[in-house]
Amino acid sequence: MKKSILLLVTIILITGCSKPEIKTTIENNDALVSINYPVTNINALDDAVSTYVNQTYNNFKKSYKHLTKPELNITYTYKELNDDVINISLNTEINADKNINKIKTFTYDKKTKKFLSMEDIVDDLDALDYDIKKALLEKYQEADMDFLSNVNYDYFTIDDENLTIYLGPAELKSQGNEIIYLDIPLNSLKMLIDIDKSNGSDNYINIKKRDINYDDHIVALTFDDGPSKYTDKILNILKKYDACATFFVIGNKVDFYDETLTKMLKNGNEIGNHSYSHKWLNRLSKEEFEEEITKTQTEVQKATGFTPKLFRPTYGGYTNKLKSYTDLTFVLWDVDSSDWKVKNKDKIINNIIPNVKDGSIILMHDNHEYAVNALEDVIKKLQEKGYKFVTVSELLELKKIRENE
């Protein structure tokens, strides 16, 4: 007689609003590459951003091709300052024979169809200069203040409370490589444009129950590097076949796809943490690693109310020391679709089906269409073999129950 195990997941859901899509490129060949940036469907802005990203990528590949596993990481901040003005800031980090850390900012007015400088945003630049100098003296007392006679405020982001100014280490003759940033409160500045404030959303509770038998043949689908514009299609396919998956999300993409994450949970799927910006974790300090974890946890909680319990390390690489820095459960895989590499539906299916066994965790990616093309056949073939789809947490819980029998 089968034992029936009822696994309960309590989920707090929050509705969100639609956002532009995120363009993602992740490579793990001769170099480690993780690039994420927003696509707004505003031609001038998108052309400027993509041109900068492509130039950075091509220069990186050319300059560091002689090195073993150099790393390029481009992440972003995005803010709709009001109905017309968008601010995008790209943070580029290169880890190679020397480390490079730089910021590039684009501020675009849809109404005037022009890129804006600080002169278009803040009325009194002398007052801004004073605030910058004051903040520098308070935060970076060792900095060379000779620089301050010619302040550069070309690189900045704006949120609901602060104008954040970014300065390169060379600009202050700093010995470190970190980007220097200063938060200037908006209420201390005379702004030439209105800054819209974020609106909160009501939440509600939904409880998902799944009935799993002790001796079921189970398998867990997992998707890395999303969410993306393809994730919603994947969710529809999963729902069509009464299947589920665990999505290991990149934190800096969550805000753009909050409705997609809500849909994940509503449909009985699970969300895991895949770092905030997809950096190579083994190069990070304890503090940097914890920031990658915490920022993603915060973004997922803000978007959905759900707190991830699982973590998948980027590029599948980690050490026991890294594991000791967090209480999250590290999750790898035993079946690799290699969808991002083979880019072919039949090859993806052949990489999965013959290698699945009871309790397998399958690795796929939801940041490109290759997984979408293969997913329906993968689900049907595994269901025909008698497999039941569960989330990773459910799989680990059932494995634990079996081991303790």
Structural domain contains residue 390: yes
The per-residue pLDDT for 203 is 41
pLDDT category of residue 3 using cuts at 50, 70 and 90: low
Distance CA 249, CA 228 (A): 10
CA 296 to chain CA centroid, Å, is 7
pTM of the model: 0.80
Element (DSSP H or E) covering residue 100: strand 100-109
Domain that includes residue 311, residue range? 215-403
Least confident of 140-144, 225-229, 266-270, 282-286: 140-144
388 phi/psi in degrees, rounded to 5: -110, 135
Compute the mean pLDDT over every residue in the chain, rounded to the nearest whole number: 86
Cβ-proximal residues to 256 (8 Å cutoff; 6+ apart), any chain: 19, 20, 21, 22, 38, 78, 227
174 and 256, same domain (yes or no): no
235 and 308, same domain (yes or no): yes
Q: Which of 15, 13, 22, 11 lies closest to 259 in space, CA to CA? A: 15
The per-residue pLDDT for 9 is 44
352 and 257, same domain (yes or no): yes
Structural domain contains residue 12: no
Catalytic residue, chosen from 274, 278, 365, 368, is 365
Distance CA 245, CA 257 (A): 17
Q: Which amino acid is at 23?
A: K
Helix axes 258-266, 231-240, angle to 10 degrees: 10
**211 burial type by CB count under 10 A (0-12 exposed, 13-18 middle, 19+ buried):** exposed
Q: Which of 223, 218, 222, 248 lies closest to 360 in space, CA to CA? A: 218
CA 246 to chain CA centroid, Å, is 15
The per-residue pLDDT for 329 is 96
Q: Between residues 354 and 12, which one has the greater pLDDT?
A: 354
27 and 132, same domain (yes or no): yes
Mean pLDDT computed over 164-188? 71
Least confident of 72-76, 198-202, 312-316, 376-380: 198-202
How many C-beta neighbours within 10 Å does residue 248 have?
Answer: 28
Structural domain contains residue 16: no
Mean pLDDT computed over 352-360? 97
235 and 350, same domain (yes or no): yes
How many C-beta neighbours within 10 Å does residue 373 have?
Answer: 18
133 and 65, same domain (yes or no): yes
In 159-261, where do the E strands start and end? 162-167, 180-185, 203-213, 217-226, 245-249
Structural domain contains residue 210: no
Catalytic residue, chosen from 131, 224, 225, 339, is 224
Q: Please state the domain count of the chain.
A: 2
The enclosing domain of 311 has a CATH number of: 3.20.20.370
The per-residue pLDDT for 17 is 40
The per-residue pLDDT for 208 is 56
| Helix count and strand count (H, E) for the chain | 10, 19
Structural domain contains residue 5: no
Q: Which of 136, 124, 131, 228 lies closest to 174 in space, CA to CA? A: 136
pLDDT category of residue 171 using cuts at 50, 70 and 90: low
Examine the fold and report which residue of 188, 223, 254 is the final residue of a domain before the chain moves on.
188
Percentage of the chain lying above the pLDDT 70 cut: 85
Q: Between residues 27 and 13, which one has the greater pLDDT?
A: 27
Mean pLDDT computed over 284-313? 94
Structural domain contains residue 81: yes
Is 224 a residue of the active site?
Answer: yes
Pairing of strands 335-336, 387-389: unpaired
Structural domain contains residue 129: yes
Distance CA 229, CA 155 (A): 29
141 and 54, same domain (yes or no): yes
Mean pLDDT computed over 163-190? 73
112 and 221, same domain (yes or no): no
Distance CA 106, CA 348 (A): 39
Partners of residue 217 on adjacent β-strands:
387
Q: Between residues 35 and 203, which one has the greater pLDDT?
A: 35
347 and 272, same domain (yes or no): yes
270 and 156, same domain (yes or no): no
How many C-beta neighbours within 10 Å does residue 384 have?
Answer: 9
Cα dihedral 157, 159, 161, 165 in deg (nearest 10): -10
Structural domain contains residue 152: yes
Distances (CA, A) of 144 to 125, 129, 150, 179, 200: 21, 16, 12, 15, 42
pLDDT digits (tens, 9 = 90+) for 210-265: 677 888 999 999 999 999 999 999 999 999 999 999 999 999 999 999 999 999 99
342 and 247, same domain (yes or no): yes
pLDDT category of residue 355 using cuts at 50, 70 and 90: very high
Examine the fold and report which residue of 143, 169, 188 is the final residue of a domain before the chain moves on.
188
Partners of residue 344 on adjacent β-strands:
none
The enclosing domain of 171 has a CATH number of: 3.30.565.40
Residue 2 has pLDDT above 70, yes or no: no
Residue 142 has pLDDT above 70, yes or no: no
Residue 199 has pLDDT above 70, yes or no: no
57 and 103, same domain (yes or no): yes
